[in-house]
Structure 1
Amino acid sequence: MAVIAIFGAGAMGAGIGRRLVEGGATVLTYLEGRSPATRERAEAAGMRPASLEEMVAADIILSIVPPAEAVSVAEKLAAVAAGHGKRITFMDCNAISPKTMGEVAKRFDPQHAEVLDGSIIGMPPKPGYDGTKLYVSGDAGNRSGILAGRGLDIRRIDGPLGAASALKMCYGGINKGVIGLGTAMMLAAIRSGADQSLKGELADSAPDLNRKLSLGIPDMYPKAYRWVAEMEEIAAFLGEDDPASLIFRGMAGLYRKVAEDRNAGGELAAQLDGLLARE
């Protein structure tokens, strides 16, 4: 039986873990210092608590954590891998730039680990939803093949380490950029008294966008704190010479504001919800 380790049992990590368990794999996860909610989520998904030493002994290790934690997780696992008896396979699946992916890879001695670049696109797997895709690059030996046939849509990219991360940056920049743009302009409309007219015009002339924002903005609130680092990664991916990088620095600030608002009681979220509920 395949043994797969997932570092990170958030909504995405637990969703993928559950899908792999349903596909017949044993799925390990590291829960030291994690909250009771995370522990309950992992248990409900059928994931087994494991030590770092047990994690690196798995057939493959997936890192599915907030972007800001990607390098520190790699450092933690690399230290344990150095004392392990066999060469491990580690795949970073986080929303990070190709440059940060390179920093992750540098944490591992090539003698001790093979590092793969992964990116997840779609919502967490759940019953009735099969839209989660895991893109993989830098995998000449098809080490990710162990994940195929276990309920995950694995898509190999014929490119070097960093190609999958670049895809995530581009896709995330479009998808979450649209949500951020809609959030910013709806808040501006609320402040200026143009909110009802804006909502009506979106419903009239851009119904698909109106539907996306009506669903996507409320869904974003609990994730905003994680999207801050992702927007910063996208800005870094674009580079200082690209003026569009300023857009994503601004998006990082916007999502930070939404996250702080949520912690302070959710006044802005309530305003947005009131507008989004209008037809």
Structure 2
Amino acid sequence: MKFEHIGMVGYGEVGKVFTAGLKDKVAGISAWDLTFEAPAVREVQRAHAAQAGVAACASMAALCGRADLLISAVTASNTLAVAQEAAAHVRRGTVFLDLNSASPGTKQQAAALIDAAGGHYVEAGVMTSVPPYGIRVPMLLGGARAAELAGVLAGWGMDAKAVSEQLGVASAIKMCRSVMIKGLEALVIESYTTARAYGVEDHVLPTLAETFPSIDWEKQGAYFFSRVVQHGQRRAEEMREAANTVREAGGGFAPFMASAIADKQQWVADQARAGVFAGLGKDARWQDYADHLLAAVPKAP
């Protein structure tokens, strides 16, 4: 398995990180994103791509015409739509690496489309936040070509491990982890903000430190708030896929927690979109985020 040209579907945070880290591994690298044609951000996005040495394509068809490795890095809700569009244009033998946070069922549907078109679908479970790691973010791969692709990616300096030839295993691992991690984010935001409203945070956080002394609850709280404020929409979509994962487990196992986490993440994303956190810098304390939330929501009678 050898690649000459990488095509990145999605030029957001993950797409930018991956194209920057991989552009020197192959002869060429291109990207396609809806924002390349969006009037409000088109010039900025295309300028960023040009400066990064990434060819900005005008369509999925153009991207597929160049690439022998397609990497899909979009929001969870667009996972299947991207696979559908790629399947209409993908060249036979092209490997399609799906990084998106989607349920095993969604990944299996996407795989059926790509494979039927003559491509080779490989799912990836990206196991933590990308920015601190870059292309070395830990990834679990699944599918018939997972082991072969993992070898290529490892040669590029990536932390990719094949876990199963069966599609859905890597995604199940990722989604189960997401219920816990995104759930902790939602719990911290709800607990800390409520504690702040009552003025009892100096009593609550020490009890958390006593029970879980390995965690810096002050620092972790600020990080959780900042990530959800910045990426709450993406996290909410991921948690809806996590809820689908729970449902797909069968037996009437209802995703009470996953659905509630999605709602909390979406609510914070909506507050951010409304400008509630305007003016907060990247080093803001969790108390600053909580104060902005409390100032924005109606007071109880």
Report TM bin, short chain.
0.7 to 0.9
Distance 1:232 1:155, change over 3 A: same
Structure 1 CA distance, aligned partners of 2:290 and 2:127? 25
Letter in 2 for 1:47: V
Residue 263 of structure 1: aligned partner: 273
Secondary structure of the residue that 1:80 maps to in structure 2? coil
Letter in 2 for 1:189: A
Distance 1:38 1:155, change over 3 A: farther
- C-alpha RMSD over aligned residues: 2.9
Deviation at 1:194, TM superposition (A): 2.6
Deviation at 1:273, TM superposition (A): 3.4
Note the alpha carbon deviations across 1:124-158, whole angstroms, 9 max, x for none: 356x8675122211034724544332232121112
Structure 2 CA distance, aligned partners of 1:22 and 1:183? 40
TM-score (norm 2): 0.79
Residue 71 of structure 1: aligned partner: 80
Residues 59 and 88 of structure 1 are in contact (CA less than 8 Å); yes or no, is this contact kept in structure 2?
A: yes
Deviation at 1:24, TM superposition (A): 4.5
Letter in 2 for 1:79: A
Letter in 2 for 1:255: Q
Structure 1 CA distance, aligned partners of 2:155 and 2:262? 37
Residues 19 and 151 of structure 1 are in contact (CA less than 8 Å); yes or no, is this contact kept in structure 2?
A: no
Query: What residue ranges of structure 2 are gaps of 5+ in the alignment?
Result: 292-301
Structure 2 CA distance, aligned partners of 1:220 and 1:28? 29
Structure 1 CA distance, aligned partners of 2:290 and 2:95? 45
Secondary structure of the residue that 1:6 maps to in structure 2? strand
Aligned partner (choices 210, 219, 222) of residue 230 of structure 2: 222
Q: 1:80-119, aligned counterparts within 5 Å?
A: 80-81=89-90, 84=91, 86-108=92-114, 110-119=116-125
Secondary structure of the residue that 2:23 maps to in structure 1? helix
Structure 1 CA distance, aligned partners of 2:161 and 2:27? 19
Q: Which aligned runs of 4 or more in structure 1 are off by greater than 6 angstroms?
A: 268-271
Note the alpha carbon deviations across 1:84-124, whole angstroms, 9 max, x for none: 4x332212110000011122123335252221111222333
The number of equivalent residue pairs is 272
Structure 2 CA distance, aligned partners of 1:135 and 1:25? 26
Query: What residue ranges of structure 1 are gaps of 5+ in the alignment?
Result: none
Structure 2 CA distance, aligned partners of 1:44 and 1:206? 45
Secondary structure of the residue that 2:222 maps to in structure 1? helix
Distance 1:131 1:150, change over 3 A: closer
Distance 1:17 1:271, change over 3 A: closer
Residues 123 and 131 of structure 1 are in contact (CA less than 8 Å); yes or no, is this contact kept in structure 2?
A: no
Q: Does 1:252 align with 2:262?
A: yes
Deviation at 1:193, TM superposition (A): 3.6
Letter in 1 for 2:188: G
Distance 1:156 1:109, change over 3 A: closer
Deviation at 1:72, TM superposition (A): 1.0
Structure 2 CA distance, aligned partners of 1:87 and 1:139? 13
Aligned partner (choices 122, 126, 139) of residue 134 of structure 1: 139
Deviation at 1:59, TM superposition (A): 1.7
Deviation at 1:223, TM superposition (A): 0.3
Aligned partner (choices 234, 240, 246) of residue 232 of structure 1: 240
Segment drifting more, 266-275 vs 156-165: 266-275
Residue 296 of structure 2: aligned partner: none
Residues 15 and 125 of structure 1 are in contact (CA less than 8 Å); yes or no, is this contact kept in structure 2?
A: yes
Secondary structure of the residue that 2:88 maps to in structure 1? helix
Distance 1:131 1:177, change over 3 A: farther
Deviation at 1:276, TM superposition (A): 7.7
Q: 1:1-279, aligned counterparts within 5 Å?
A: 2-31=4-33, 32-34=36-38, 35-36=41-42, 37-50=44-57, 51-57=59-65, 58-81=67-90, 84=91, 86-108=92-114, 110-125=116-131, 131-140=136-145, 142-143=148-149, 145-203=151-209, 205-207=211-213, 208=215, 210=217, 211-239=219-247, 241-243=252-254, 245-266=255-276, 272-274=286-288
Percent identity over the alignment is 23
